[in-house]
Structure 1
Amino acid sequence: MGHGTPDNMACAGLLQNLLLLFRLRQIVCGSVQFSIPEEKEPGVLVGSLSKSFSPPYQLLTQEYLWMDTNTGNFYTTEQKMDREALCPEDTETEECIILHNAIVRPSGDLIQFPVIIEDINDNAPHFVNSEIHLRVPEDVSVGTSFLLDDQAQDRDVGLNGDLQYHLEDSGGVFSLKVEGDEPFIMLVVQTALDRETQDQYQMALVATDCGTDPLSATATLIVTVTDVNDNCPSFSPESPRSVTIPGDSARNMLVAQVIATDPDSGLNAAITYSLSPKVSDRAKELFSLDSLTGYIRLTQDLKSDNSEELLLKVFANGHHCPPADTKVTVSILPTLNQEMTIKIGFIAEHQNQTLVLPENKPPTALAILELEGDSSFKGSSLVIEGKVPFTLSPQNGKYLLSTSKALDFEMKKEHHIPVVVQRRSVSLSAGGGGEQRAWFVTAAGLSFRRRQWRER
């Protein structure tokens, strides 16, 4: 009975534990607590138990602190206290508390006291994504706001974790508006947008904390201006207004291509071509128009001995747009059956049909050209096509071929001079059984070759 039954002993132990917990609670809930900024160097005095308890002193856990057993002073150790690592779940609150156990007084009382780890600004803000993308329609009203979901995070607390935002390199086109305690970051459109003028803006979104020594992070904000159908098709200056084809042209020959453009994108820029219903039956019989490419082709072989001129009115149709129109005049030239020749009389020195011409020589006469044929060629003339350093000047029914400036062998060794027959303001390459002569000029000489004339 002196030692008690097991049940009595268990009850006594439970009572002792309850008394100990009560005593500890009294001590913990008292004024004995300490605080220290995180990341302190070893040997920094945190506090002392000597004001509340008598010696000796023994700290039971010495992972981050060690204690002088005589004075009750305790100091930081080599292992620094990282607030965000010690209290990972409490980084958004003001206090990170670590409880420490110590034995005090000669009676060996067990006490527990809190140490508050104070936050310092040792974490910079960071964005999860280094690039933030936002799509904005080009017809958006000035003053419209768009929510930016990609906000920066900061593991610090208080002012060290409070963030402010600003834009850099926005050019005044956009600004930021921050609302609420969350906060909500809004991108505000400050000027009218035009995708056809500029379809993308790139700027820097900067988040800065409010610590004593502020830290910041930057993300690239890319705003893509999306298209709305605010433009209609128009015909390009490169789209032909007139074209000439020979009277013996073959079926499916490409006659011309009309070209229209729309500055919009995607479906808003889609263009289809069509012939006006007022196009003549003859034109509808001879020509077809590809609605997607704008190609105008012959639908049949031509066998025309007479001149003919047909007008094609073409529409360019866009989505929700009135059609743009252009007119293409197609001139059909008669097939030439008469023979025509060009007679050449060389003036400059020549060898084997090649004129020897030194470089750097001033403008020089090279040859006399004469167009020969029957009376059907009356009124025809010879002209040089393209920009070449040669001239062809009429001389009493003949034509004097000359250089227009000194030739440079190193700059260009060979020149091709296309000569065509022009009749009644229509340019021909020839017809029938005549001959075409094309000249090649080098600084060393002038030569020519022959091939059959073809209508052009």
Structure 2
Amino acid sequence: MGQRNRSPGGLYGHFFGCFCAVLFWSLSSAQLRYSISEEVKEGTAVGNIAKDLGLDKSTLKERKYRIVSSDVDPPFQVNQNDGILYVSRKIDRENVCAQSSTCLLNVKTVLENPLEVHYVRIEVQDINDHSPTFQEKEISLEISESVFSGARFKLKAARDPDSGPFSVQQYKLDQNEHFRLEVRDSGEDGKIPILIVQKSLDRETAKRHSLVLTAVDGGKPPKTGSMNIQIDILDVNDNVPSFSSDAYSVTLRENALPGTKVIQVNATDLDDGSNGEVFYSLGKSMNQHILNLFDINPKTGEITVKGLIDYEERDKYELEIEASDKGFAPLTSEKSVNIKIIDVNDNAPEIEVTSFSSSIPEDSRPGTTVALISVNDRDSGLNGKVMCSMSEDIPFSLSPTIQDTIYSLITKSPLDREKQSHYDLTIFAKDTGQPSLSSEITISIFVSDVNDNSPEFVLSPYNFYLMEANEPGTSVFSVKAFDRDDNENSIISYQIARDGSENNKISSFLNINSETGEIVALKAFDFEILKTFQFHVVATDSG
């Protein structure tokens, strides 16, 4: 039940199980000390007060022994028959001695007849009946990813109502490569856990770390309590926006209307908040002409047509796109977008006449070149391939040359100015696009005269009658010839053939106007001498 030791005034001891008692004597009072573990069962003996005071049972029958006061409502009673002090109700050390490392309960007892006052001090010994607890089951910390290794973060300590070796003795942190734990002994405040960064943090790799901090007391077996630690890594603008594609290429039809979508680029930033918010722009180094043709939505990265796209002006473009974040010190990345323009058949063929002879002699041989015809179409491919043609019922044709875009306009049959002296030729040029476009040009060709026709008399032979005794020098007759040629080739002069033959002697008495063909008799004729005669008139052109 306990132990009793004799004090300097008469101390003796006796063991009562695991309990111990100490008796101090004085003239009017005595003091006893016992110890007992908390949480013992109700009725457990603390010590034999009567025996420790040297009283026998007969004395107890004559003198009443009772408890008169205590520090607290005493959880003890005294058996009046044997003087044993016992536990009257379960004792929770942490309730009765919350603020003390040593728990002592003072009880004042009185033995009557004669009156004796005895003081009993009972030490309640701690047992490991409580687990360590944290004030919060979970805490949240915010740590910047730029924090240096070795940074320290003091954590709230766990509390254990038990004392001495049963209080918190150590802390444990579950395994994490970025953090380690250090425990500092702060004397009365106990052991304080300190979280230390041991490896650099990267929010983009792990934006949150979940740790479990465990407090362990010194019991055997030990009791534990834990707290969850949620660590949110605060972002630093340390990532450049990254485009989703290594290369952007797209085709675009020319003449696309303003607002037409060309392509949408996309870039992401692993940072958080404004550090990860991306906006887009066209490169500042691009020339103004391209900036007038294309636009980009700063929020979505959608590139649209802004101006007139003309394949014939330029068949491809390279746009420089910038993706920037909205951090305090923005980071920017660049990417090129290659745009290939697709031709649309929007240009009609152009016809140009070079080396043109507007007049050609009628005696030109078939195959004679009249003009060179050049055709051009600013479109490409089939849209720019041009075919030329002309009417087939004319003495001209188009002959291809070694150059696809040049044709020779040549004669394909003999010309005859006297039949047709002028031609209006229409040349057609048509591309092979779908739908095709065409153009035409008309040129005028004049056939120049060649003296290829002899003069012809209106009548041949001419017969006329002459009255005898005519007056010399007067007109007797006129002839008329024509020439189908033109200009000088058609100007006719007349003369009388004088070859000296007998039949033509009479012609010496005649004269002819070379321009008009009027014939004049130079003498008077006598019917009785000459009844008939003939002569030749020659008509000559001026070719």
What's the TM-score once normalised by structure 2's chain length? 0.52
Question: How far is the alpha carbon of 1:158 from its aligned partner?
Answer: 1.3
Cα separation, 1, equivalents of 2:287 and 2:252: 18
Residue 221 (str. 1) matches residue 226 (str. 2): no
Is it true that 1:87 corresponds to 2:97 in the alignment?
A: yes
Counterpart of 1:36? 36
1:173 aligns with 2:174: no
Partner of 2:341: 332
AA at the equivalent of 1:214:
P
Alignment of 1:394-433 (within 5 A): none
Partner of 1:390: none
Q: Greater CA deviation, 304-313 or 247-256? A: 304-313
Matched AA of 2:334: D
The DSSP-based 3-state class of the residue aligned with 1:228 is coil
Is the contact between residue 307 and residue 331 of structure 1 (CA under 8 Å) also seen in structure 2? no
Equivalent residue runs for 1:356-395 within 5 Å: 376=383
Describe the SS at the equivalent of 2:300: coil
Q: Structure 1 pair 274/43, CA: closer, same or farther in 2 (3 Å)?
A: same
Counterparts of 2:181 and 2:253 in 1: how far apart (Å)? 66
Instruction: Indicate whether 1:252 and 2:259 are aligned.
Output: yes
- Contact 1:251–1:302 (8 Å) recurs in 2: no
CA contact (8 A) 1:337 1:431 kept: no
Distance in 2 (alpha carbons) for counterparts of 1:297 and 1:287: 6
Of residues 59, 69, 79, the one that matches 1:68 is 79
C-alpha separation in 2, matches of 1:253 and 1:101: 101
Mean alpha-carbon deviation: is it higher for 195-204 or for 298-307? 298-307
Contact 2:30–2:118, Cα closer than 8 Å, also in 1: no
CA distance in 1, matches of 2:130, 2:27: 35
Name the CA distance, whole Å, in 2 between partners of 1:141 and 1:53.
73
Q: How many percent of aligned residue pairs carry the same amino acid?
A: 27
Aligned to 2:53: 52
- 2:297 maps to 290
Structure 1 pair 250/375, CA: closer, same or farther in 2 (3 Å)? closer
Q: Which ranges of 4 or more aligned residues in structure 1 deviate by more than 4 Å?
A: 24-31, 300-307, 374-378, 430-433
Q: 1:197 to 1:29 in 2, by over 3 A?
A: farther
- The Cα of 1:333 is off from its aligned counterpart by 2.4
1:305: Cα distance to partner?
A: 7.5
Which residue does 2:125 correspond to in 1?
118
Counterpart secondary structure, 1:156 = coil
- Larger CA deviation: 112-121 vs 51-60: 51-60
Q: Is contact 2:132–2:168 with CA below 8 Å preserved after alignment?
A: no
Whole-angstrom CA distance in 2 between matches of 1:28 and 1:289: 104
Per-residue deviation, residues 274-307 of structure 1 (Å, max 9, x unmatched): 2223323332112112223222112257687776
How far, CA to CA, are the matches of 2:288 and 2:337 in structure 1?
A: 16
Cα 1:322–1:102 shift into 2, 3 Å: closer
What is the deviation of 1:207?
A: 0.2
Query: Where does residue 160 of structure 1 map in the other structure?
Result: 166
Q: Tell me how far 1:312 sits from its aligned partner.
A: 1.3
User: What is the CA distance between 1:217 and its match in structure 2?
Assistant: 0.6
Alpha-carbon spacing, 1:299–1:377, altered in 2? closer, same or farther (3 Å):
closer
Contact 2:267 2:323 in 1 (8 A): yes
Amino acid at match of 1:310: Y
Query: Paired residue for 2:463?
Result: none
Q: Please tell me the residue identity of whatever aligns with 1:84.
A: E
Instruction: Tell me the distance in 2 between the aligned counterparts of 1:120 and 1:81.
Output: 11
Name the residue aligned to 2:240.
Answer: 232
* Structure 2 unaligned regions, length at least 5: 1-23, 348-380, 386-432, 437-543
Aligned position for 2:288:
281
Deviation for aligned residue 1:432:
5.5
Distance 1:59 1:303, change over 3 A: same
Could you tell me how far apart the structure 2 residues matched to 1:293 and 1:156 are?
63
Please say if residues 163 and 209 of structure 1, whose CA atoms lie closer than 8 Å, have aligned partners that are also in contact. Answer: yes
Q: Which moved more, 1:305-314 or 1:270-279?
A: 305-314
Residue 251 of structure 2 aligns to a residue whose secondary structure is: strand
1:76, distance to aligned residue in structure 2 (A) = 1.8
Name the counterpart of 1:129: 136
- Counterpart-to-counterpart distance in 1, 2:25 and 2:90: 28
Query: What letter is aligned with 1:70?
Result: N
What secondary structure is seen at the aligned counterpart in 2 of 1:60?
A: strand
Which residue identity does 1:217 align to in structure 2?
G
Specify the SS of the correspondent of 1:33.
Answer: strand
The structure having more radius of gyration, on CA atoms, is 2
* Distance in structure 1 (CA, Å) of the matches to 2:236 and 2:305: 38
Q: Distance in 2 between matches of 1:234 and 1:244?
A: 23
Bigger drift between 64-73 and 299-308 goes to: 299-308
Deviation at 1:209, TM superposition (A): 0.8
1:266 aligns with 2:253: no
Bigger relative contact order, structure 1 or 2, given CA contacts below 8 A and separation 6+?
1
For the residue of structure 2 that corresponds to 1:232, the secondary structure is coil
1:81 shift after superposition: 0.9
Deviations 1:358-406 (A, max 9, x none): xxxxxxxxxxxxxxxx96498xxxxxxxxxxxxxxxxxxxxxxxxxxxx
User: Structure 2: how far apart are the matches of 1:431 and 1:196?
Assistant: 54
Q: Distance in 2 between matches of 1:28 and 1:294?
A: 100
Cα gap change, 1:107 to 1:163, in 2 (>3 Å): same
Report the CA distance between 1:206 and its aligned residue.
0.6
SS in 2 for 1:71: coil
Q: Which amino acid aligns with 1:87?
A: C
Distance, in Å, in 1 between the alignment partners of 2:159 and 2:81 is 45
Distance in structure 2 (CA, Å) of the matches to 1:59 and 1:258: 94
- CA-CA distance at 1:263 after TM superposition: 1.9
Q: TM-score, normalised by structure 1?
A: 0.62
Would you say the 8 A contact 2:67–2:78 is kept in 1? no
Task: Give the deviation of 1:252 after TM superposition.
Answer: 1.6
Q: How far off its partner does 1:52 sit?
A: 2.2
Between the aligned partners of 2:237 and 2:81, the Cα distance in structure 1 is 85
Aligned to 1:211, the other structure's residue is in SS state: coil
Q: Is the 8 A contact 1:134 1:223 kept in 2?
A: yes
> Is the contact between residue 99 and residue 113 of structure 1 (CA under 8 Å) also seen in structure 2?
yes
> Helix, strand or coil for the counterpart of 2:147?
coil
Q: Is the 8 A contact 2:203 2:233 kept in 1?
A: yes
> Which of 209, 212, 218 pairs up with 1:210?
218
For the aligned residue pairs, the C-alpha RMSD in angstroms reads 3.3
Separation in 1, partners of 2:111, 2:77: 14
Task: Tell me what 1:151 maps to.
Answer: 157
Mapped partners of 1:134, 1:375: distance in 2: 70
Which residue is 2:201 aligned to?
Answer: 193
Larger mean Cα displacement after TM superposition, 182-191 or 61-70: 61-70
Aligned residues: 317
